[in-house]
Amino acid sequence: MNPRTAMLLSRPPAALVTVRVRIDGAREGEAPAEPADVRCEGVESRIRIGSMGASPSRVAESLAAWIDKRLSKPLIPGRVTHSELRDDSGVIDDPVAVLHEDGRTVDLTLHGGAWVVEATLDLLRRDGFDVIEFDPFDARCIAMCDGGTDDERKTNALLALARTELAVESVMRRGEIPNLQSAIRNLLLPPTIAIVGPPNAGKSTLANALFGQQRSIVSPVPGTTRDWVGEEADLLGLIVKLIDTPGVRSTHDAIEREAIDLSADAKREADCVLILLDGSEPVAAQSLLRERLQHQFADRSIVVLNKADAALPEWEHQRIDHRVSATTGAGLEALVRAVRSRFVPWADEWDASIRA
């Protein structure tokens, strides 16, 4: 491999991420502090530059040349340096940089704005670096993580994306619990949950209840949700990407029709689908839609009756997986636990051990 074509690790953008920052609390010229968990709005701002497949001396020489060209100050191995990062037009940012003791890896911590991160990645691409998305299960990424052994590097790679106590505990106990590997993947790489159903069934209200704050428009007017919302929610330690879709109905509104068509792709790719029915409306009015959705999503689906606190008597004998009131919160915890158990089967046992 040409040493100018090195590996660069960058975790993907997120609305809210928990990042591991090696240089937290360190001043210029000091050794980096121990890793610390930091909550960060915006975009992942830590970039690691290194290389594999080339001789150590050539990599060090190549990286030193890049540092000399792009950073305003020289880097001392193992020390924090506050410097300006420049492209051919001017200053991109004033990051904090740490050159590893071996001289073959540099950690850059940027200010985190989307433009700053993308401009830095574009600069590195132009300078001959390959940009790879951080994947804790990718051997290339694991090889570039901190650690004295392969197992330590793998652990650190997994911990880099562990954003909840449940995820951290799972990583540290991997190998002790049956079928843990698939659960760890679900805990680190958020599965997608889609909410589907008839208009005005309360899909946006349920989504907002799971988010913990209002993210979707809530209105009594059918068709209000004209664009599907995909953001992350924490379901008792399982981070999921939650998709609130427009109601399934025939419509002549061009904008709403486009939103429904766009959401169809999201629903097809969803790992779990919540089929939300309206308990305040007659069973017969929703039976055909329910049958179609259950057939379409099969074992990926969970049937949920919303407005259970005001449900018509005819719903009492219907087979429903969960009955909730998205407005009052009744039944929501049981629903959340059911969704979590699909991806982390032993999570309830873990909760019990914590309470014990």
pLDDT, one tens digit per residue, over 270-329 is 899 999 999 999 999 999 888 888 888 888 999 999 999 999 999 999 999 999 999 999
Between CA 296 and CA 267 the distance in angstroms is: 10
pLDDT at 4 (0 to 100): 38
pLDDT at 34 (0 to 100): 38
Residue span(s) of the chain under CATH 3.30.70.1400 come to 7-161
Looking at the domain 190-343, which fold is it?
Answer: Rossmann fold (3.40.50)
Residue span(s) of the chain under CATH 3.40.50.300 come to 190-343
Transcribe 94-119 into DSSP letters: --EEEE-TTSS-EEEE----HHHHHH
CA 111, 114, 116, 118 torsion-angle sign: positive
Distant-in-sequence, close-in-space partners of 108: CB < 8 Å, separation ≥ 6: 46, 47, 48, 49, 85, 95, 96, 97, 120
DSSP 324: -
**Residue 163 is which amino acid?**
R
End-to-end CA distance of the chain: 54
How far, in Å, are 170, 189, 264 from residue 179 at the CA level? 11, 16, 31
pLDDT at 37 (0 to 100): 29
> For 142-200, what is each residue's pLDDT tens digit?
887 888 899 998 998 898 888 899 999 889 888 776 667 788 999 999 999 999 888 88
pLDDT at 356 (0 to 100): 57
C-alpha Rg value of the chain to the nearest Å:
24
What mean pLDDT comes out for the span 254-268?
48
Predicted TM-score (pTM) of this structure? 0.69
Q: Is the pLDDT of residue 226 over 80?
A: no
Q: How high is the mean pLDDT of the chain?
A: 76
DSSP 71: B
Domain spanning 7-161 has what CATH number? 3.30.70.1400
